[in-house]
Amino acid sequence: MPITAETYFEHNGETKTISDHDRDLIYELSKRNDSVSHLDKYIANAEPDKELKMFWIDLKKQEKENVRRLKKIIVSHIKKSCF
């Protein structure tokens, strides 16, 4: 008997290992961390254009601060045992 889409997804999402907001924190941390590493390449590629290079450098600083803040929030949640 073939499995229908309804049967396949019937129990999808019933078991969660962490809450949605904690998953969101980890997901954003991962995305922004990847972004910081990509920005190094953008900075190098922008070498001839000082204005563009400064834009990427500023964006990298902002993303590094976002990563720092996300890590701080995750640590706080872990210490409060709500992660």
Average pLDDT value for residue range 54-63: 98
Do residues 78 and 26 make contact, with C-beta atoms less than 8 angstroms apart?
no
pLDDT at 24: 93
Please tell me the distance from the alpha carbon of residue 4 to that of residue 27, in angstroms, as a whole number.
31
- pLDDT for 76 beyond 90: yes
Do residues 33 and 78 make contact, with C-beta atoms less than 8 angstroms apart?
no
User: Given pLDDT bands bounded at 50, 70 and 90, which one contains residue 1?
Assistant: low
pTM of the model: 0.76
- What does DSSP assign to residue 15? -
Do residues 67 and 29 make contact, with C-beta atoms less than 8 angstroms apart?
yes
